[in-house]
Amino acid sequence: MVKKVTVVGAGNVGATAAQRLAEKELCDVVLIDIIEGIPQGKALDLAEAAPIEKHDAHLAGANNYEASANSDIVIITAGIPRKPGMSRDNLLATNKGIIKSVTKEVIKYSPKAILIIVSNPLDAMCHVAMEESGFPKQRVIGMAGVLDSARFRAFIAEELNVSVENIQALVLGGHGDTMVPLPRFSTVAGVPITELMSAKRIEKLATRTRNGGAEIVGLLKTGSAYYAPASAAVEMAESILKDKKKILPCAAYLEGEYGISGLFVGVPVKLGKNGVEEIISLNLTAEEKKALLKSAVAVQELVDAMKKV
Protein backbone atom coordinates (compact mmCIF):
# COMPACT_ATOMS: atom_id res chain seq x y z
CA MET A 1 0.00 0.00 0.00
CA VAL A 2 1.23 3.50 -0.79
CA LYS A 3 2.33 5.27 2.36
CA LYS A 4 1.11 8.75 3.22
CA VAL A 5 3.01 11.56 4.91
CA THR A 6 1.55 14.91 5.86
CA VAL A 7 3.88 17.87 6.27
CA VAL A 8 2.39 20.68 8.34
CA GLY A 9 3.92 24.05 7.52
CA ALA A 10 4.53 24.62 3.81
CA GLY A 11 7.37 27.06 4.39
CA ASN A 12 11.05 26.52 3.74
CA VAL A 13 11.56 23.34 5.75
CA GLY A 14 8.13 21.85 5.01
CA ALA A 15 8.17 22.41 1.26
CA THR A 16 11.74 21.11 0.97
CA ALA A 17 10.81 18.01 2.98
CA ALA A 18 7.80 17.46 0.71
CA GLN A 19 10.05 17.72 -2.33
CA ARG A 20 12.56 15.21 -0.97
CA LEU A 21 9.84 12.74 0.11
CA ALA A 22 8.24 12.85 -3.34
CA GLU A 23 11.47 12.74 -5.31
CA LYS A 24 12.63 9.71 -3.35
CA GLU A 25 9.16 8.26 -4.12
CA LEU A 26 8.74 7.29 -0.48
CA CYS A 27 5.05 8.16 -0.16
CA ASP A 28 2.19 10.40 -1.20
CA VAL A 29 2.52 13.82 0.38
CA VAL A 30 -0.02 16.27 1.79
CA LEU A 31 1.21 19.77 2.55
CA ILE A 32 -0.78 21.84 5.04
CA ASP A 33 -0.37 25.48 5.94
CA ILE A 34 -2.44 28.21 7.53
CA ILE A 35 -1.85 30.56 4.58
CA GLU A 36 -4.37 30.06 1.79
CA GLY A 37 -2.94 29.03 -1.53
CA ILE A 38 0.62 28.36 -0.37
CA PRO A 39 0.35 24.60 0.26
CA GLN A 40 -1.86 24.13 -2.80
CA GLY A 41 0.50 26.14 -5.01
CA LYS A 42 3.66 24.42 -3.78
CA ALA A 43 2.09 20.94 -4.04
CA LEU A 44 0.96 21.68 -7.62
CA ASP A 45 4.38 23.05 -8.56
CA LEU A 46 6.05 19.91 -7.15
CA ALA A 47 3.53 17.68 -8.96
CA GLU A 48 4.36 19.42 -12.22
CA ALA A 49 8.04 18.64 -11.67
CA ALA A 50 7.25 14.93 -11.27
CA PRO A 51 7.44 14.00 -14.99
CA ILE A 52 10.94 15.46 -15.14
CA GLU A 53 12.05 14.10 -11.77
CA LYS A 54 10.51 10.74 -12.69
CA HIS A 55 8.34 9.87 -9.73
CA ASP A 56 4.68 9.00 -9.27
CA ALA A 57 4.17 10.30 -5.75
CA HIS A 58 0.89 12.20 -5.43
CA LEU A 59 1.08 15.65 -3.89
CA ALA A 60 -1.77 17.72 -2.50
CA GLY A 61 -2.02 20.95 -0.56
CA ALA A 62 -4.69 22.06 1.91
CA ASN A 63 -5.55 24.55 4.62
CA ASN A 64 -7.55 22.05 6.63
CA TYR A 65 -6.72 18.65 8.01
CA GLU A 66 -9.26 16.44 6.26
CA ALA A 67 -6.80 15.87 3.46
CA SER A 68 -4.29 14.55 5.98
CA ALA A 69 -6.52 11.68 7.13
CA ASN A 70 -4.83 8.37 7.85
CA SER A 71 -1.28 9.59 7.43
CA ASP A 72 1.43 7.15 8.46
CA ILE A 73 3.67 10.03 9.51
CA VAL A 74 3.04 13.71 10.18
CA ILE A 75 6.06 15.99 10.04
CA ILE A 76 5.37 19.23 11.93
CA THR A 77 7.35 22.22 10.70
CA ALA A 78 4.73 24.91 11.37
CA GLY A 79 5.90 27.93 13.30
CA ILE A 80 8.14 30.90 13.02
CA PRO A 81 11.85 30.55 12.24
CA ARG A 82 14.71 32.44 13.88
CA LYS A 83 16.02 35.83 12.80
CA PRO A 84 19.59 37.06 13.41
CA GLY A 85 20.26 37.58 17.12
CA MET A 86 17.43 35.26 18.16
CA SER A 87 18.03 31.96 19.92
CA ARG A 88 15.78 28.98 19.28
CA ASP A 89 14.36 29.60 22.76
CA ASN A 90 13.04 33.02 21.70
CA LEU A 91 10.46 31.17 19.61
CA LEU A 92 8.98 29.44 22.65
CA ALA A 93 5.70 31.24 23.23
CA THR A 94 4.65 31.61 19.60
CA ASN A 95 5.55 28.12 18.51
CA LYS A 96 4.04 26.53 21.61
CA GLY A 97 0.61 27.84 20.62
CA ILE A 98 1.08 26.77 17.02
CA ILE A 99 2.25 23.23 17.85
CA LYS A 100 -0.61 22.79 20.30
CA SER A 101 -3.27 23.74 17.76
CA VAL A 102 -1.64 21.82 14.92
CA THR A 103 -1.27 18.63 17.00
CA LYS A 104 -4.92 18.81 18.04
CA GLU A 105 -6.04 18.82 14.42
CA VAL A 106 -3.52 16.23 13.25
CA ILE A 107 -4.57 13.58 15.76
CA LYS A 108 -8.27 13.97 14.91
CA TYR A 109 -7.60 12.64 11.42
CA SER A 110 -4.53 10.46 11.95
CA PRO A 111 -4.81 8.88 15.40
CA LYS A 112 -2.24 6.22 14.53
CA ALA A 113 0.38 8.47 12.95
CA ILE A 114 3.96 8.86 14.04
CA LEU A 115 4.79 12.51 14.71
CA ILE A 116 8.15 13.93 13.69
CA ILE A 117 8.60 17.35 15.25
CA VAL A 118 10.87 19.89 13.56
CA SER A 119 9.66 23.25 14.92
CA ASN A 120 11.89 24.99 17.44
CA PRO A 121 12.76 25.11 20.26
CA LEU A 122 12.74 21.45 19.35
CA ASP A 123 12.91 19.62 22.64
CA ALA A 124 10.20 21.77 24.21
CA MET A 125 7.95 21.42 21.16
CA CYS A 126 8.21 17.63 21.46
CA HIS A 127 6.75 17.94 24.96
CA VAL A 128 3.86 20.04 23.64
CA ALA A 129 3.11 17.49 20.90
CA MET A 130 3.27 14.54 23.28
CA GLU A 131 1.04 16.19 25.88
CA GLU A 132 -1.51 17.41 23.35
CA SER A 133 -1.64 14.14 21.41
CA GLY A 134 -1.52 11.74 24.34
CA PHE A 135 0.47 9.50 21.98
CA PRO A 136 2.85 6.92 23.42
CA LYS A 137 6.51 7.93 23.54
CA GLN A 138 7.35 5.68 20.59
CA ARG A 139 5.25 7.87 18.29
CA VAL A 140 6.55 11.36 19.10
CA ILE A 141 10.07 11.97 17.85
CA GLY A 142 12.09 15.16 17.50
CA MET A 143 14.38 15.96 14.60
CA ALA A 144 17.63 17.42 15.90
CA GLY A 145 20.45 14.92 16.25
CA VAL A 146 20.42 13.82 12.62
CA LEU A 147 20.82 17.46 11.58
CA ASP A 148 23.45 18.32 14.18
CA SER A 149 25.40 15.15 13.36
CA ALA A 150 25.18 15.89 9.62
CA ARG A 151 26.67 19.31 10.27
CA PHE A 152 29.49 17.75 12.31
CA ARG A 153 30.01 15.17 9.52
CA ALA A 154 30.18 17.86 6.85
CA PHE A 155 32.76 19.84 8.84
CA ILE A 156 34.89 16.73 9.54
CA ALA A 157 34.84 15.77 5.85
CA GLU A 158 35.87 19.27 4.83
CA GLU A 159 38.65 19.43 7.43
CA LEU A 160 40.14 16.03 6.49
CA ASN A 161 39.42 16.32 2.76
CA VAL A 162 37.58 13.01 2.56
CA SER A 163 34.17 11.98 1.27
CA VAL A 164 31.22 12.78 3.51
CA GLU A 165 30.14 9.20 2.85
CA ASN A 166 33.05 7.97 4.97
CA ILE A 167 32.00 9.98 8.00
CA GLN A 168 29.76 8.86 10.83
CA ALA A 169 29.22 11.21 13.75
CA LEU A 170 27.13 11.46 16.83
CA VAL A 171 25.73 14.58 18.46
CA LEU A 172 23.50 14.02 21.48
CA GLY A 173 21.65 16.21 23.97
CA GLY A 174 19.27 19.10 23.45
CA HIS A 175 19.04 21.00 20.16
CA GLY A 176 20.73 24.12 21.50
CA ASP A 177 24.01 25.55 22.72
CA THR A 178 24.55 22.65 25.12
CA MET A 179 24.35 19.90 22.49
CA VAL A 180 27.03 17.24 22.89
CA PRO A 181 29.16 16.27 19.86
CA LEU A 182 30.86 12.96 20.73
CA PRO A 183 34.27 12.66 19.01
CA ARG A 184 34.84 9.13 20.33
CA PHE A 185 31.79 7.96 18.39
CA SER A 186 32.60 10.02 15.29
CA THR A 187 34.57 8.11 12.70
CA VAL A 188 36.21 8.30 9.30
CA ALA A 189 35.92 4.93 7.57
CA GLY A 190 35.61 3.39 11.01
CA VAL A 191 38.54 5.24 12.61
CA PRO A 192 37.57 7.57 15.49
CA ILE A 193 38.45 11.20 14.75
CA THR A 194 40.26 11.30 18.08
CA GLU A 195 43.01 9.31 16.29
CA LEU A 196 43.07 11.62 13.28
CA MET A 197 42.91 15.14 14.68
CA SER A 198 44.19 17.06 17.69
CA ALA A 199 41.74 17.79 20.50
CA LYS A 200 42.00 21.48 19.56
CA ARG A 201 40.97 20.87 15.93
CA ILE A 202 38.10 18.65 17.04
CA GLU A 203 36.88 21.29 19.49
CA LYS A 204 36.88 23.86 16.70
CA LEU A 205 34.59 21.64 14.61
CA ALA A 206 32.40 20.82 17.61
CA THR A 207 31.95 24.52 18.36
CA ARG A 208 31.03 25.22 14.75
CA THR A 209 28.50 22.37 14.98
CA ARG A 210 26.93 23.86 18.12
CA ASN A 211 26.63 27.18 16.30
CA GLY A 212 25.62 25.57 13.00
CA GLY A 213 22.07 26.88 13.02
CA ALA A 214 23.11 30.39 14.07
CA GLU A 215 25.80 30.48 11.36
CA ILE A 216 23.14 29.94 8.70
CA VAL A 217 20.69 32.39 10.30
CA GLY A 218 23.49 34.98 10.25
CA LEU A 219 24.03 34.45 6.54
CA LEU A 220 20.38 34.21 5.45
CA LYS A 221 19.21 37.06 7.71
CA THR A 222 15.54 36.45 6.84
CA GLY A 223 15.10 32.90 8.10
CA SER A 224 16.83 29.77 9.27
CA ALA A 225 18.34 26.66 7.69
CA TYR A 226 16.07 24.40 5.71
CA TYR A 227 17.86 22.14 3.22
CA ALA A 228 19.68 20.12 5.87
CA PRO A 229 16.78 20.15 8.37
CA ALA A 230 14.46 18.82 5.64
CA SER A 231 16.98 16.12 4.67
CA ALA A 232 17.25 15.07 8.31
CA ALA A 233 13.49 14.81 8.80
CA VAL A 234 13.17 12.79 5.60
CA GLU A 235 15.93 10.37 6.62
CA MET A 236 13.95 9.69 9.80
CA ALA A 237 10.70 9.30 7.84
CA GLU A 238 12.35 6.91 5.39
CA SER A 239 13.62 4.65 8.16
CA ILE A 240 10.08 4.48 9.57
CA LEU A 241 8.26 4.06 6.24
CA LYS A 242 10.60 1.30 5.07
CA ASP A 243 11.00 -0.20 8.55
CA LYS A 244 14.74 0.06 8.03
CA LYS A 245 15.55 0.13 11.75
CA LYS A 246 18.32 2.68 11.30
CA ILE A 247 20.08 3.92 14.41
CA LEU A 248 19.77 7.70 14.34
CA PRO A 249 20.23 10.37 16.98
CA CYS A 250 16.76 11.80 17.69
CA ALA A 251 14.98 13.62 20.48
CA ALA A 252 13.21 10.84 22.36
CA TYR A 253 11.26 10.77 25.60
CA LEU A 254 13.52 9.27 28.24
CA GLU A 255 12.37 7.37 31.29
CA GLY A 256 15.56 6.61 33.15
CA GLU A 257 17.89 6.01 30.19
CA TYR A 258 21.16 7.92 30.60
CA GLY A 259 19.94 8.83 34.09
CA ILE A 260 17.33 11.21 32.62
CA SER A 261 13.59 10.98 33.25
CA GLY A 262 10.49 12.65 31.89
CA LEU A 263 12.34 14.65 29.26
CA PHE A 264 12.92 14.71 25.51
CA VAL A 265 16.67 14.60 24.91
CA GLY A 266 18.72 13.64 21.86
CA VAL A 267 19.98 10.04 22.08
CA PRO A 268 20.59 7.27 19.53
CA VAL A 269 17.36 5.42 18.76
CA LYS A 270 16.29 2.66 16.42
CA LEU A 271 13.63 3.94 14.00
CA GLY A 272 11.27 1.43 12.41
CA LYS A 273 7.61 1.06 11.50
CA ASN A 274 6.58 1.52 15.15
CA GLY A 275 8.56 4.72 15.57
CA VAL A 276 11.17 4.66 18.32
CA GLU A 277 11.66 0.90 18.67
CA GLU A 278 14.66 1.07 20.98
CA ILE A 279 16.74 3.62 22.83
CA ILE A 280 20.38 2.71 22.45
CA SER A 281 22.39 3.05 25.64
CA LEU A 282 26.00 4.00 25.02
CA ASN A 283 28.76 3.51 27.50
CA LEU A 284 29.70 7.15 28.09
CA THR A 285 32.76 8.41 29.93
CA ALA A 286 32.19 10.49 33.06
CA GLU A 287 32.93 13.65 31.08
CA GLU A 288 30.52 12.76 28.24
CA LYS A 289 27.82 11.87 30.73
CA LYS A 290 28.33 15.15 32.55
CA ALA A 291 27.91 17.09 29.30
CA LEU A 292 24.74 15.17 28.44
CA LEU A 293 23.25 15.79 31.88
CA LYS A 294 24.12 19.48 31.59
CA SER A 295 22.27 19.56 28.29
CA ALA A 296 19.29 17.79 29.90
CA VAL A 297 19.21 20.48 32.60
CA ALA A 298 18.99 23.13 29.85
CA VAL A 299 16.07 21.25 28.26
CA GLN A 300 14.36 20.98 31.65
CA GLU A 301 14.74 24.75 32.16
CA LEU A 302 13.17 25.34 28.77
CA VAL A 303 10.26 23.04 29.54
CA ASP A 304 9.77 24.80 32.88
CA ALA A 305 9.90 28.20 31.19
CA MET A 306 7.32 27.02 28.67
CA LYS A 307 4.81 26.30 31.41
CA LYS A 308 4.90 30.03 32.28
CA VAL A 309 4.25 31.38 28.77
Closest CA to 3 of 239, 167, 202: 239
Given candidates 34, 49, 162, 282, which one binds ligand APR under the rule CB under 6 A? 34
Neighbours of 27 (CB within 10 A): 21
Select the span of 42-50, 90-98, 165-173, 176-184 touching ligand APR (CB under 6 A): 90-98
Binding mask 145-164 for ligand APR (x = CB under 6 A): --------------------
Q: How many residues bind ligand APR (CB under 6 A)?
A: 28
Q: Does the footprint of ligand APR cover residue 78 (CB under 6 A)?
A: yes
Q: Is 195 left (phi over 0), alpha (psi -120 to 50) or beta?
A: alpha
The three-state secondary structure class of 190 is: coil
Q: Yes or no: say if 305 and 292 are a contact pair by the CB < 8 Å rule.
A: no
Nearest residue to ligand APR, scored by beta-carbon proximity: 11
Measured distance CA(271)–CA(237) in Å, rounded? 9
Interstrand relation of 114-117 and 246-255 (parallel, antiparallel or unpaired): unpaired
Burial class from Cβ neighbours inside 10 Å (0-12, 13-18, 19+) for residue 77 reads buried
* Nearest distance in Å: CB 246, ligand APR: 21
Choice between 11 and 266, CB closer to ligand APR: 11
Q: Which is nearer to ligand APR, 39 or 173 (CB)?
A: 39
Q: Which of 31, 74, 102, 296 binds ligand APR (CB under 6 A)?
A: 102
**57, 116, 118, 214: which one binds ligand APR (CB under 6 A):** 118
**98 is a site residue for ligand APR (CB under 6 A):** yes
- Asked if 82 is part of the footprint of ligand APR (rule: CB under 6 A), the reply reads yes
- Our answer to whether residue 55 is catalytic in this structure is no
Residues 213-232 that bind ligand APR (CB under 6 A): 223-224, 226, 229
**105 exposure class (CB count in 10 Å sphere: 0-12, 13-18, 19+):** middle
Near ligand APR by CB under 6 A: residue from 29, 30, 73, 81: 81
- CA 1 to CA 14: how far, in whole Å? 24
Q: Is 93 in the site for ligand APR (CB under 6 A)?
A: no
Site string for ligand APR, 179-218 (x = CB under 6 A): ----------------------------------------
Q: Least distance from C-beta 11 to ligand APR, angstroms?
A: 2
Helix pair angle (212-220, 199-210), 10° resolution: 50
The SS3 call for residue 46 is helix
DSSP-assigned letters across all residues of 84-149: TT--GGGGHHHHHHHHHHHHHHHHHH-TTPEEEE-SSSHHHHHHHHHHHH---GGGEEE--HHHHH
Among 5, 10, 26, 150, binds ligand APR (CB under 6 A): 10
Residue 166: DSSP 8-state:
G
- Other residues' Cβ atoms within 10 Å of the Cβ of residue 308: 7
Of 118 and 179, which CB lies nearer to ligand APR in the complex structure? 118
> Catalytic residue numbers?
175
Residues in contact with ligand APR by the rule CB under 6 A: 8-14, 33-35, 38, 77-79, 81-82, 91, 95, 98, 101-102, 118-120, 223-224, 226, 229
